[in-house]
Amino acid sequence: MSDTNSRFGVEIIGSGLCLPESRLTNHDLEECMETTSDWIVKRTGITERRRADQANGERTSQISTKAIQNALDDAKISASDLDLLLVATMTPDSPTPSVGCIVADRIGAGKIGAMDINAACSGFVFTMSIADALIKSGAYKTIGVIGADCITRFIDYSTAGRGAAILFGDGAGAMIFRRSESQAQGMIAHRMHSDGEGGKHLFIPSSLLDFPENFEFDENAINRVQMNGKAVFKFAVNKFQQVIADTLEDAGISPEKVDHYVCHQANLRILDSARERFGIPEEKLLVNIHKYGNTVAGSVPLVYAELMESGKIKPGDLVMFLAFGAGLTWGSSLWQL
């Protein structure tokens, strides 16, 4: 639960996104693996996804830079107004420097603290809860948070890797969080969870050492997403519903009080399962998976930025942010805007 004793509240004053230009459609995938567009649409809801052009410099740091710049423009503030930059990603350009350091420099944020946080698809939701706590502590006033991943460079586009190949795409979203004098604004409940034992169901091995016990070593699997789709699906349906129930209980509210559920886009069937269980109407749970697939940490801020662009979110709305993914990880962040 969130500590409500802070003198401050937190407001979200801007959002932005960046998507690579290049599209990878279901029909493109039909050309390189045994699959059909019909199967993909029926089992996931996805029709296309974006793919960063790595060779031409389209990398996580680059789409992150564009996304935060768009968020700063939306907030009508400049990079020098930020006093901390946090980047949720599991696909930094390289192990070091962090995407945070690269982006802070590129946007001209000065010598502020900057770092990456890796919680896979849950990364952005975890990080927005961290930003809320840091602002409420009084230590920071304006924090930029980016969720960005270029996962397609770790995908095997052959029949052997088709489970992951059809699902994932690249993208970035960002938000600006600022201290508010209204204590009513900000996060009112949250959850962060992990289960390392389940990590074997979704991982990217860099070497032989990274193969879980009982996995047969396969050289072709190095640096490629390894996913037990069925096990992850089961985990996701279960934990997604559980975390919604727990967060509602923590906040002492019923599902219909929430104005928007901003959810990680992993598979349309997972989203539908939660909508059915809690009676969430379609207009309260935006789905954009058909256009972008699963963009890992980019997914949640992409949904938020699109909702803001369309004017669907209003000041004072109650918004629940939700995600689950590799690690395994899952969590929520419930905000009073």
Tell me the C-alpha distance between 17 and 31, whole Å.
30
Q: Which of 26, 70, 101, 121 is catalytic?
A: 121
Closest CB to ligand UT7 among residues 269, 312 = 269
Total residues binding ligand UT7 (CB under 6 A): 18
Cα separations in angstroms, 25 against 148, 225, 329:
21, 19, 29
Closest CB to ligand UT7 among residues 190, 239 = 239
Binding status of residue 327 toward ligand UT7 by CB under 6 A: no
- On whether the CB atoms of residues 188 and 136 are closer than 8 A, the answer is no
Q: Binding mask 118-137 vs ligand UT7 (x if CB under 6 A, - otherwise)?
A: ---x----------------
- What the block records as the tokens of 178 is 């600022």
Q: Binding mask 175-214 vs ligand UT7 (x if CB under 6 A, - otherwise)?
A: ----------------------------------------
- Judged by CB under 6 A, the chain residues 246 through 305 that form the site for ligand UT7 are 266-267, 294
* Segment near ligand UT7 (CB under 6 A); pick from 38-46, 50-58, 137-145, 175-183: 38-46
Is 150 assigned a catalytic role? no
- What the block records as the tokens of 133 is 């706590």
Q: Which of 26, 70, 267, 294 is catalytic?
A: 294
Please report how many Cα atoms fall inside a 13 Å half-sphere around the Cα of residue 282, on the Cβ side. Answer: 3
Binding status of residue 243 toward ligand UT7 by CB under 6 A: no
In angstroms, give the least distance from the CB of 57 to ligand UT7. 26
In angstroms, give the least distance from the CB of 26 to ligand UT7. 10
- Comparing C-alpha atoms, which of 235, 306, 242 is closest to residue 274? 242
In which residue are the tokens 């706590």 written? 133
Binding status of residue 230 toward ligand UT7 by CB under 6 A: yes
> Which are the contacts of 116, defined by CB distance < 8 A and separation ≥ 6?
86, 87, 88, 89, 92, 98, 99, 100
In angstroms, how far is CA 58 from the centroid of its own chain?
19
Tell me the C-alpha distance between 233 and 99, whole Å.
30
In angstroms, give the least distance from the CB of 236 to ligand UT7. 5
Binding status of residue 88 toward ligand UT7 by CB under 6 A: no
Is 193 assigned a catalytic role? no
Tell me the C-alpha distance between 131 and 176, whole Å.
10
Q: Which residue is nearest to ligand UT7 (CB)?
A: 229
Strand partners, 175: 15, 145
Tell me the C-alpha distance between 125 and 325, whole Å.
11
Active-site residue numbers? Answer: 121, 264, 294
Q: Catalog residues that contact ligand UT7 under the rule CB under 6 A.
A: 35, 39, 43-44, 121, 162-163, 166-167, 229-230, 232-233, 236, 266-267, 294, 325
